[in-house]
Amino acid sequence: MDYSTLLNQEQLKPVTDTEGAVLVLAGAGSGKTRVLTYRIAYLIEKCGVSPNSILAITFTNKAAGEMKERIQAVTGQDGMWVMTFHSFCARVLRNDADKLGHNRNFSIYGEAESDRIITRILKENFPDDTDKKKTIRWNISAAKSIAMTPEQYAVRIKDHPECDLITQVYTKYEEELAKNNAFDFDDLLLKTFLLFAMHKDVLEKYQDRFLYVHVDEFQDTNKIQFLLVKMLVRKYGNIFVVGDDDQSIYGWRGADVGNILNFKKDYPDCRIYKLERNYRSSGNILKTANKVIANNAGRMGKQLWTDKEDGIEVSYRSMGDDKTEADFVLEQIMNLVKNHGYRYSDFAILVRINSITRIFEDRMSSYGMPYKVIGGFKFYERKEIKDFIAYLRMAVNPADGESVTRIINFPKRGIGDACVEALIQACAERNMSLFDGLMALDELELSPAYKKKLAQFAALAKDISEKKDDMPLDEYVKYVFDKVDFYSAYDVDDPEGRTKLENIDQFLTSVHEFCADNPDVKLEEYLQTLSLLTDADETDEGNYITIATIHGVKGLEFRCVFIVGLEEGIFPSLRSDTTTADVEEERRIMYVAITRARERLWLTNAGRRFRFGKWESNSVSRFVKESGLIAAARKTEDRTVHHTVQQALRRDLTPRFAKTAAAGKDISAFKAGVKVRHPKFGDGVIQDVTGENARIAFEKLGVKVLNLRLAPLAVTGE
């Protein structure tokens, strides 16, 4: 393989620099994944390195999967570990968690499970402080990200007004996790760090295996992740990291941009390479990005360039209010879709904070424009799916009391809260897990009535647990579906119940597909895969406009991007205690937003915006001024934009229903329970009607609220 023909000169140099410490400063759209892929291929093909000696760490499962596929396609080799930090740590702990006193069949708790535990702790012990759950959850995560116990963290936050509360809840939270044989996401990193620190033999095993360690998105690493990497490479020193200090935007969740800025201090002999040639964006978009980010003092310095033409000028528009801003955006999209061959999926509307997406969602729903909100309700977070998964988790980890309490009365078995509390208390008195207590009901101090109610579930739990290794995974999951009788748990005559059953059916299908790709997979491995899914791993290739926070689209790109809400206090999102470092992170977020665009970019703001129940006015964002576009700004007359967009949407968006969009359209046939069809959203059932708006459960897209006079709906049945 001739690497000089596959890579440009900027990319070739780090790929062929194989020994010691290497930092690649990779600008947005500069081909960093290509560099990582060919670097690993070069090690295997040209240097004779065994794939088993290579570790590559990414930040999403999707990125890991794509990179592994590329490496296999280039080299024909398998065996390297290409995975996220959390997946790497979970695999290490599955092998050696017992050395820390943990059962290796631990459950992995996501945010929902962690929140439920903290909520319960507050209700039972601190009922006057239940409103502080978010603060406590954030602090527990922050403590774990810097490897601090409750006692150590208490010293660190001794001046915090809620120091005692945070410390006490953190302590009880850890006790609950231990009782349930569970780790949260932060634990996966922390426990692996402790394992390596306390058991040198385990650390050396992985040091001797992974002679070459690669880390993608290094600017997003936190302290624990940084230390884990440092431990792994201490023996042989071969570390290859790729990152962009200008795209470090996760400081709020513990990421430390200093890890990349100080790389030279930690590895004095390292070589630093810069990838500045951008293959994504037009010249004008890159000029705007460079102007904005140049205002940051704490950066290593890069200047993105491209050999593409400058392209269309970046546009800035200042609107009178948020409604006019939304109308302007829709007008641009409609014009490009109708007259210039664009698809809805070519567009992204990016916001700094979620709260300002509502006006765009309302407008698009009313006019029947298809859209998707990234970070919306995810498939595996739906209640019916989490209920099903809880049965599977109980089978793998009987100590998982959270899963047991979730499903003990689902489907309904007449087991009320009082019965569950009595079971919990009886098990606690005998130092038994809930599952073990259910398996030994006769030994517990419970009333005969409670024992009778619990016996049915106990028999079911025993059967499900015993059968998990008796058949292939997809057959077992179907067995659980039938044994639990999920079908009878939902009313198939109710649209919502039918939707839940369809979601469970989709879940069964996903298990079948997973088994087809992984024939010998065990239930434990499948559950771990589900537990480690992130927002970025869930994709939808449909023809929808994307509405998202900027954090939600990092790593993505679009032909056309609107960055909206560019007002001081919103973007940048400022508080009274904002520091220079905070402002620089906000500027990096702006830089990330700009560099998502390939062809067209609009920056917009509103003179006034309706938030928190009142109108508020904010000045234009400093980032607009820094972009150099403020002088070219055109203040658009509100009435003109509103009139134009109303005309465009009624005339052009859906010509097939132009006549029925008239004010006199009869909407009396649209009632709850009526089946309807939308030309883009497909078939659905009306759930309820309020005035001219209807909540409709679409089979493929879920629930949407549409204006009955404007939306192109046809009645298909009762």
675 SS3 class: strand
Q: Please check whether residues 84 and 233 belong to one and the same domain.
A: yes
Residues 72 and 206 in one domain: yes
Whether 447 is in a domain gets the answer yes
The pTM for the full model equals 0.76
Of 468, 503, 535, the residue at which a domain comes to its end is 535
Q: Are residues 390 and 498 in the same domain?
A: yes
**582 and 572 both lie in a single domain:** yes
Phi, psi for 333 (deg, rounded to 5): -60, -45
Residue 58: which CATH number? 3.40.50.300
DSSP E strands in 360-499: the ranges are: 371-373
| Contact of 175 with 168, CB cutoff 8 Å | no
| Residue bearing the bigger pLDDT, 11 or 649 | 11
Rounded to 5 degrees, φ, ψ at 294 are -65, -15
Answer whether 319's CB lies under 8 Å from 607's CB: yes
Domain count along the chain = 5
627 has pLDDT over 90: yes
Q: Does a structural domain hold residue 611? A: yes
Do residues 283 and 308 lie in contact, with contact meaning Cβ atoms separated by under 8 Å?
yes
**Mean pLDDT computed over 371-378:** 72
Q: What is the pLDDT of residue 613?
A: 62
Q: Which two tokens stand for residue 62?
A: 């999707």
Contacts of 2 (CB under 8 A, 6+ apart): none
Give the model's pLDDT for residue 256: 93
80 in a domain, yes or no? yes
* pLDDT tens by residue, 289-309: 999 999 999 899 899 999 999
* Local confidence band at 699 (pLDDT 50, 70, 90 cut-offs): confident
Check pLDDT > 60 for residue 647. Answer: no
For residue 430, tell me if it sits in a domain.
yes
Q: How does pLDDT run across 167-220, given as a tens digit for each residue?
A: 999 999 999 999 999 999 999 999 999 999 999 999 999 999 999 999 999 999
Judge if 30 and 43 occupy the same domain.
yes
- Averaged pLDDT for residues 391-401: 93
Q: Kindly calculate the radius of gyration of the chain based on its CA atoms and give it in whole angstroms.
A: 28
Q: What is the pLDDT of residue 656?
A: 30
In a domain, 640, yes or no: yes
Per-residue buried b or exposed e for 654-691, using 16+ beta carbons within 10 Å of the residue's own CB: beebeebbeeeeebeebeeebebebebbeebbbbebee
Residue written as token pair 């593409």: 308
Torsion over CA: 230, 86, 583, 285 (sign): positive
Cα distances (Å, whole numbers) of residue 527 to 66, 267, 358, 530: 21, 38, 35, 5
From first CA to last CA, the distance across the chain in angstroms is 64
99 pLDDT tier (thresholds 50, 70, 90)? very high
The answer, yes or no, to whether residue 376 has pLDDT greater than 60, is: no
Say which CATH number the domain at 455 has.
1.10.486.10
**Portion of the chain with pLDDT greater than 70, in percent:** 91
* Residue 374 sits in the same domain as residue 384: no
pLDDT computed for residue 240 by the predictor: 99
Per-residue pLDDT tens digits for 508-527: 877 887 888 888 889 998 88
CATH of the domain at 699: 2.30.30
Cα distance between residue 245 and residue 519, in whole Å: 41
Number of alpha carbons in the 13 Å side-chain half-sphere of residue 562: 25
Compute the average pLDDT of residues 584-604: 97
- Secondary structure class of 267 (helix, strand, coil): coil
Q: How confident is the model at residue 233 (pLDDT cuts 50, 70, 90)?
A: very high
Structural domain including 152 reads: 107-180
Is 101 domain-assigned? Answer: no
Q: Give the per-residue pLDDT at 1.
A: 85
Question: In the beta sheet, which residues pair with residue 348?
Answer: 546, 561
Q: What is the mean pLDDT of residues 555-581?
A: 88
The top-scoring range by mean pLDDT among 172-176, 254-258, 356-360 is 172-176
> What are the DSSP calls for 35-48, one per residue?
HHHHHHHHHHHTS-
Of residues 22, 4, 12, 17, the one with CA closest to residue 214:
22
Does one domain contain both 475 and 333?
no
Per-residue pLDDT at 75 exceeds 50: yes
Look at residue 372 and tell me whether its pLDDT is greater than 80: yes
Q: What is the pLDDT of residue 640?
A: 47
Please, what sign has the CA dihedral across residues 676, 682, 683, 684?
negative
> For residue 97, what pLDDT is reported?
95
Within this chain, do residues 365 and 383 fall inside the same structural domain, yes or no? no
Supply the mean pLDDT for the chain.
88
Q: Which one is predicted more confidently, 163 or 618?
A: 163
Answer yes or no: is 99 within a domain: no
Same domain, 393 and 448: yes
Q: Compute the distance between CA of residue 34 and CA of residue 452 in angstroms, rounded to an integer.
A: 62
The answer to whether 78 and 109 have CB atoms below 8 angstroms apart is no
Q: Are residues 223 and 86 in the same domain?
A: yes
Mean pLDDT across 618-646: 68
The tens digit of pLDDT for each residue in 419-431 reads: 999 999 999 999 9
Q: What is the distance between the alpha carbons of residues 149 and 171, in angstroms, rounded to a whole number?
A: 8
Cβ pair 46, 69 in contact under 8 A: no
Cα separation, 588 vs 136, in Å, equals: 28
Domain boundary among 277, 302, 335: 277
Determine the Cα angle at 558 with ends 552 and 564, to 5°: 60
Number of Cβ within a 10 Å radius of residue 626: 17
- Cα–Cα distance measured from residue 312 to residue 681, given in angstroms and rounded to the nearest whole number: 33
Q: Do 400 and 451 fall into the same domain?
A: yes
At which of 248, 277, 306 does a domain end?
A: 277
Structure tokens at 225: 């992740």
pLDDT higher than threshold 50 for residue 400? yes
With a cut of 80, say whether residue 634 has pLDDT above it.
no
CB contact at 8 A, 676 and 685: yes
Q: Is 594's pLDDT higher than 80?
A: yes
Give residue 653's pLDDT: 46
Residue 283 inside a domain? The answer is no
Q: Is the pLDDT of residue 541 over 70?
A: no
pLDDT at 659 over 50: no
Inter-CA distances, 12 with 7, 16, 29, 40, 523, Å? 6, 6, 16, 12, 42
Residue 493 DSSP label: T
3-class SS at 610?
strand
Catalytic positions, written as ranges:
32-33, 216-217, 247, 596
Tens-digit pLDDT profile for residues 453-465:
999 999 999 999 9
Task: Give the chain's length.
Answer: 718
Q: Are residues 116 and 85 in the same domain?
A: no
